[in-house]
Amino acid sequence: MKRLKVKADRNNLLKVQAFIDEQLEAADCPMATQIAIDVAVEELFINIASYAYSGKTGTATVQVKIHKEPLSAEITFIDSGKQYDPLAKADPDITLAAKDRKKGGLGIFMVKNSMDDMKYEYKDGQNVLTMIKNL
């Protein structure tokens, strides 16, 4: 498992994506799958940077583990910000016109639908969000 710890700051998004992409490329991840993962990573990391620490400084740890059988990437985000389970929120009603929908939630909905599995736990004062994508 590879690990990267960074300040939870929007300016570190490219560093986080480059770290993850390096692991994906080493596993011969198809480009379309890598792009889907990059979009999900952007959504999750920006949410941590924007909301986890309520304007204060904090860190985010990103872990990447490549599984051989089945070939998949397990990417975990860990932060010590306020407890928040993004998977507990009800999915937006995408059958409604955009003007009739509540604001927010579409990004997490998109991530949930583009990954093969996601799980959240609050452990030892930390948010631990894991997403798995088959390669």
CB of 122 closer than 8 Å to CB of 128:
yes
Contact 63, 78 (CB under 8 A): yes
How would you write the pLDDT of the chain (135 residues) with one tens digit per residue?
Answer: 999 999 999 999 999 999 999 999 999 999 999 999 999 999 999 999 999 998 888 999 999 999 999 999 999 999 999 999 998 876 555 655 656 656 655 568 788 889 999 999 999 999 999 999 999
Taken in order 49, 113, 29, 69, is the CA torsion positive or negative?
A: positive
- Tell me the sheet residues that pair with 122: 127
Q: State yes or no: cis peptide before 86, omega within 30 of 0.
A: no
Facing residues of 123 across strands?
126
Q: What predicted TM-score, i.e. pTM, was given to this entire model?
A: 0.89
| CA pair distance 40, 36, nearest whole angstrom | 6
Amino acid 111: pLDDT: 87
Q: Which CATH superfamily is domain 2-134 in?
A: Histidine kinase-like ATPase, C-terminal domain (3.30.565.10)
Do 78 and 127 contact (CB within 8 A), yes or no?
Answer: yes
Domain ranges for the chain, please list them: 2-134
DSSP state of 91: P
CA distance 20 to 95: 33
